[in-house]
Amino acid sequence: MTSSKGLKLTRQRQIILEELRKVRTHPTAIEVYTMVRRRLPRISLATVYRNLEELAAAGLIQKLTLAGSRKRFDGTVEEHCHIRCLKCDRVDDVAQVLVPPIVEDVETLHGYQLLGHHLELFGICPRCQEKARERREGPSHSQAGREAKQKER
């Protein structure tokens, strides 16, 4: 099996691709290395890294370079947006492709022939929000506890 750009899918690349496509976590190279080592016990981090770069260059995976975060890899190549948690650095997919209105106007306003755009979303993930609530409210963070606190005020 070869890709559209003629990259030979060696057993190593095949396994890296399979493992990456199984997850939605957008792992870093080191995380991919940990994932594939179960099936490729002798593979080195450098080899995993090189294969990831080659798979990305061939368009079989996506390489994500998000500001302030480590480089990550995504087995989903269909166009989609990402949102990153500023606290725990997790990256999730955003289901719909968001096109900000500015993208549609930029050719008219600035005269550029627009070839693409890169939208970066960041925030606090549900788990980190929950953790922050627990820290604020102590161990009793139930709905009842919250309501009681609101009445006290």
d(CA 121, CA 87): 14
**Residue 91: in which H helix or E strand, if any?**
strand 91-94
Least distance (Å) from Zn ion to the CB of residue 74? 4
Q: Specify which residues 84 forms β-bridges with.
A: 91, 122
Alpha carbons 145 and 79: distance in angstroms, whole number: 43
Query: Which of 23, 83, 106, 128 touches Zn ion by CB under 5 A?
Result: 128
Cα separation, 153 vs 149, whole angstroms: 7
Could you tell me whether strands 81-85 and 120-123 are parallel, antiparallel, or unpaired per DSSP bridges? Answer: parallel
Q: Which stretch binds Zn ion (CB under 5 A): 32-40, 86-94, 102-110, 115-123?
A: 86-94
One residue of 18, 93, 134, 137 binding Zn ion per CB under 5 A = 93
Contacting Zn ion (CB under 5 A), which of 88, 94, 99, 121?
Answer: 88
85 forms part of the interface with Zn ion (CB under 5 A): yes
**Looking at 36-44, 93-101, 105-113, 136-144, which segment touches Zn ion (CB under 5 A)?**
93-101
Binding site for Zn ion (CB under 5 A): 74, 76, 85, 87-88, 93, 125, 128
